[in-house]
Amino acid sequence: MTEIFGVPTQALFGQLLIGLINGSFYALLSLGLAVIFGLLNIINFSHGAQYMMGAFAAYFLLNKLGLNYWWALVLAPLTVGASGMLVERLMLSRLYKLDHLYGLLLTFGLALIIQGIFRHEFGSAGLPYSMPEQLTGGMNLGFMFLPKYRGWVIVASLAVCVATWFVIERTKLGAYLRAATENPTIVQAFGVNVPRMITLTYGFGVGLAGLAGVMAAPIYQVNPLMGADTIIVVFAVVVIGGMGSIMGAIVTGFGLGLVEGLTKVFYPEASNTVIFVIMALVLMVRPQGLFGSR
Amino acid sequence: MAAPDQYQPHASRDDAAEARYHRRAFLVMMVLFIGAPFVVYPVFVMKALCFALFACAFNLLLGFGGLLSFGHAMFLGMAGYAAAHAAKVWGLPPELAILAGSAASTVLGVVVGLLAIRRQGIYFAMITLALAQMVFFFCLQAPFTGGEDGIQSVPRGRFLGFLDLSNTMVLYYVVLAIFTAGFLLIYRIIHSPFGQVLKAIRENEPRAISLGYRTERYKLAAFVLSAGLAGLAGATKALVFQLASLTDVHWSMSGEVVLMTLLGGMGTIFGPVVGAFAIITMENYLAELGSWFTITQGAIFVVCVLAFRRGIIGELEAWLRKRRGG
């Protein structure tokens, strides 16, 4: 068996793959956070709970309505996104004139409610969600064995991230969005319905979290608390990348997933904390984040 | 972040009235606490007192410094571990164990503070949360914390060599003395020139900088003071329950102290005490219902943010002021 730095290549690539998978979810979640933060100026603390709702939506669609994974991939993000828009209209929209920290507190409270309800109904044990049959099995790449579903998650999330980047940075709609981020009053004066745009943006960001949840369902179990710890790591990812740029969120998400995977190979004890250590280092050297601007 | 309606400058006549009101409220509070163990189960009141001190320390940072830390559990929990370790493994007397705990959280406060004050607002909250999560994993893996079991059956010993803490009543009044000392220290800090500068930074940091204040030093000092006092609460709590565990380092504990302060009234002197007693009482009744406690906590957060931002004491003060003003 070949080895690199005393580590079997199979194990190394295996952990790198897991790192890339985690990175896919970090990227999707921090992308949603960045999009929401850009326009609403709030940090969506319920993002982890909404990610969990995406996974549960997929579970319900399969077990109650008999709709398979591919349907869930479309319907779950729409459902979760719609619930997000309801939250924005009913609650968040009342807080825009206040200190932005109130938005953080409100969404934290919502996360507690959502996670509490799901835990009350389904307990803390995970529910299994089977892989779509088209993506079971795997292929041999010569240097490693790649399970098809994992390859699909990486490709799909990369595609979604790039598409989001394209829409925001290269289309007319995205131009409106960026303009409203800069100065909502003037954009409104030009006849753009900014409040509706804010609602849709929040819905879109939350929908991304829901999509991540559907993709995570076959890999991790469907668990009421699956988003609770993940969201804290994603916060660290966001601090490292800086929330100024969409591409920054994507690159940092995938990059840190890889770093975490590598740490599991070379120094497993630190794999839980490596991202927080990197955050501390970045704060010392470049407080605004790798891609952030002051 | 400040409670609304705290902004208007007070004339000196109002200051005197406010000091009088604080003195009266303090006396009422002390009478209640001194009599409490004869009416209510003392261990319950001690628990609430520890959390009240914790919330007051947190409020010093949020209500008067305008800095929302979402990781204050790390100071409560770390001090608990340090005090429990000092008392059980090193065999230190309780007063030194509590000092060791507070010292540990103060040092942690310096390190975390230096990193976190580099960013403001929302970022500050996220950074403290992430660093607290790092401390959580450290406590989970480090050998001296006992992992999932925590440090159990911590000896209480004799406070200052002659107060036998195995007697619940003696323990109660020692805890009350520690709470009162911490509470008065925080009151003193808030009403000192240092506290006034903190409020100025909270209201308008660029202006404070233009007046020549090195705001980051004030913010760091406030952060370290808050961390040390939170540690005092955590160390005391570890001796009361003879236990230091992962619960006190977990992020949900950080959320709980935010909730206590928000519910009681941030930026008020007595709000955190009222909030802590309210939440601990609620926990007492809802604990066996498990996830319902979480749901209720979340609901209180939502209601407070949407409709009740001044909190219990803040609303009460506003009502009193309106009545006095006619």
What ipTM was reported for this prediction? 0.91
> How many Å apart are CA B178 and CA A243, to the nearest integer?
43
pLDDT in tens, chain B (326 residues): 544 444 445 456 677 888 888 999 999 999 999 999 999 999 999 999 999 999 999 999 999 999 999 999 999 999 999 999 999 999 999 999 999 999 999 999 999 999 999 888 888 999 999 999 999 999 999 888 888 889 998 999 888 888 888 899 999 999 999 999 999 999 999 999 999 999 999 999 999 999 999 999 999 999 999 999 999 999 999 999 999 999 999 999 999 999 999 999 999 999 999 999 999 999 888 877 778 889 999 999 999 999 989 999 999 989 988 887 75
What pLDDT sits at residue B2? Answer: 47
CA atoms within 13 A on the CB side of A284: 8
Contact A279 B300 (CB under 8 A): no
Considering CB atoms only, which of B126, B140, B309 is closest to A239?
A: B126
Task: Look at residue B6 and tell me if it is in a domain.
Answer: no
B197 touches chain A (CB under 8 A): no
Domain boundaries, chain A: 7-128+144-226
Say how many C-beta atoms besides its own lie within 10 A of residue B184's C-beta.
11
Q: Of A235, A238, A245, A234, which Cα lies nearest the Cα of A292?
A: A245
Helix (H, G, I), strand (E, B) or coil at B244: strand
Task: Look at residue B123 and tell me if it is in a domain.
Answer: yes
Find residues 123-142 of chain B whose CB sits inside 8 Å of chain A: 123, 125-127, 129-131, 133-134, 137-138, 140-141
Backbone phi, psi, residue A146, to 5°: -110, 110
Task: Look at residue B96 and tell me if it is in a domain.
Answer: yes
Residue of chain B nearest A272, judged by CA positions: B137
What pLDDT sits at residue B12? Answer: 62
DSSP A145: E
Range of the domain at B235: 12-325
Which of A52, A101, A234, A252 would you mutate first to test chain B, the one with the most B CBs within 10 A?
Answer: A101
Tell me how many degrees the CA angle A91-A95-A100 measures, rounded to the nearest 5. 125
Task: Look at residue B115 and tell me if it is in a domain.
Answer: yes
Contact B121 A100 (CB under 8 A): yes
What pLDDT sits at residue A2? Answer: 67
Q: Of B150, B43, B46, which Cα lies nearest the Cα of B88?
A: B150
Which amino acid is present at B127?
Answer: I
B262 touches chain A (CB under 8 A): yes
> How many Å apart are CA A179 and CA A174, to the nearest integer?
8
Residues of B with Cβ-Cβ distance to A239 under 8 angstroms:
119, 123, 126-127, 130
A139 has which bridge partners? A146
Q: Are B68 and B244 in contact (CB under 8 A)?
A: no
Q: Of A235, A248, A275, A256, which Cα lies nearest the Cα of A47?
A: A235
Task: Look at residue B249 and tell me if it is in a domain.
Answer: yes
Q: Where are the alpha helices (DSSP H) in B153-288?
A: 168-190, 193-203, 205-210, 215-241, 251-264, 271-286
User: What CATH number does the domain containing B47 carry?
Assistant: 1.10.3470
Domain total in chain B: 1
Which of B122, B282, B303 would you mutate first to test chain A, the one with the most A CBs within 10 A?
Answer: B122
Q: Of B78, B79, B69, which Cα lies nearest the Cα of B129?
A: B69
Tell me how many degrees the CA angle A277-A278-A282 measures, rounded to the nearest 5. 120
Contact A279 B125 (CB under 8 A): no
Contact A109 B298 (CB under 8 A): yes
**Residues 6 or more apart whose Cβ sits within 8 Å of residue B202:** B2, B64, B65, B66
How far, in Å, are B67, B139, B234 from residue B150 at the CA level?
A: 30, 9, 14
> How many Å apart are CA B262 and CA A233, to the nearest integer?
25
**Residues 6 or more apart whose Cβ sits within 8 Å of residue B308:** B315
Task: Look at residue B1 and tell me if it is in a domain.
Answer: no
How far, in Å, are A31, A115, B208 from residue A18 at the CA level?
A: 20, 26, 48
Q: Are B68 and B2 in contact (CB under 8 A)?
A: no
